A and B are shown apart, each in its own frame.
Chain A
Amino acid sequence: EVQLVESGGVVVQPGGSLRLSCAASGFTFDDYAIHWVRQPPGKGLEWVSLIGWNGGSTYYADSVKGRFTISRDNSKNSLYLQMNSLRPEDTALYYCARDRGIRLYKYDMEVWGKGTTVTVSS
């Protein structure tokens, strides 16, 4: 079964740091680019970041650029999001999602995890 499972979401104070993980299974992980998408409570989806299949290319939303770093370890079938200088507005459910393209960027997501919740609050 094709699956993505996020973990690492906790309550953290403003200014703090956190690393999210996303474990992939059921498909050839290093064939696909992976996205992070977040959803604040009761609000809409916001694209956060994208990493290419070999980790060589990364892209970020302006709202997180310079604070968040996306990375992957293809030997572990895992994706990460290092989040620094966290703000209350970063509070959200964070999803990892597989890009539809095989060694291509399609910028749409056909496989999603269930998400992990990050709360930034003092």
Chain B
Amino acid sequence: QSALTQPASVSGSPGQSITISCTGTNSDIGGYNSVSWYQQHPGKAPKLMIYDVTNRPSGVSYRFSGSKSGNTASLTISGLQAEDEADYYCSSYTSRSTLVFGGGTNVTVL
């Protein structure tokens, strides 16, 4: 199972919006609504930010939103803040009943 494709880095200024893409295939992202996004700060465990494409767990800021079109999912962070600087990973359920992650995107707040 190949990793999902994410851009290596994305940057934005405070207050701006950024979008991270995550591209897969019909056997993962395109075939199921089980796409999740995780935030990971250096030295910390990942934190679930979005599940089932668009849903936010309790306690996650409304500034984080998810979407999907075809084989590509996206995470948008609006009103970018310094604390949003982290690595972000997408994941998807696959047709083989496994899970696949993206390669990760480093978000920099300028």
State whether these chains interact.
yes
Interface of A toward B, CB cutoff 8 Å: 35, 37, 44-47, 50, 59-62, 95, 97, 100, 106-110, 112-115
B65 within 8 A of A: no
Minimum CB distance partner of B50 in chain A:
A108
If the complex has contacts A61-B98, A100-B51, are A108 and B91 also in contact, measured as CB distance less than 8 A? yes
- In the complex, the answer to whether B45 meets A61 with C-beta atoms within 8 Å is no
Q: Is the interface of B mostly helix, strand, loop or mixed?
A: strand
If the complex has contacts A61-B1, A108-B91, are A47 and B101 also in contact, measured as CB distance less than 8 A? yes
Whole-angstrom distance between the Cβ of A56 and the nearest chain B Cβ: 14
If the complex has contacts A44-B89, A47-B91, are A109 and B48 also in contact, measured as CB distance less than 8 A? yes
B86 within 8 A of A: no
- List B contacts of A114 (CB < 8 A): 45
**Other A-B pairs beyond A44-B101, A109-B36, 11, CB < 8 Å:** A37-B46, A37-B101, A45-B91, A45-B101, A60-B98, A106-B34, A106-B52, A107-B93, A108-B48, A113-B45, A114-B45
Whole-angstrom distance between the Cβ of B25 and the nearest chain A Cβ: 15
Contact partner of A108 among B34, B45, B103, CB < 8 A?
B34
- In the complex, the answer to whether A95 meets B45 with C-beta atoms within 8 Å is yes
For B, the interface residue count at a CB cutoff of 8 angstroms equals 25
- List A contacts of B103 (CB < 8 A): 44
CA of A60 to CA of B96 in the docked complex: distance in angstroms?
A: 10
Contact partner of A47 among B34, B48, B100, CB < 8 A?
B100
Q: Binary interface profile of B, 30-44, with partner A (CB < 8 Å = 1, else 0)?
A: 000010101010000
Minimum CB distance partner of A107 in chain B:
B93
Contact partner of B36 among A59, A60, A108, A113, CB < 8 A?
A108
CA of A37 to CA of B104 in the docked complex: distance in angstroms?
A: 14
- 3 closest A-B pairs by beta carbon, nearest first, are A108-B36, A112-B45, A44-B104
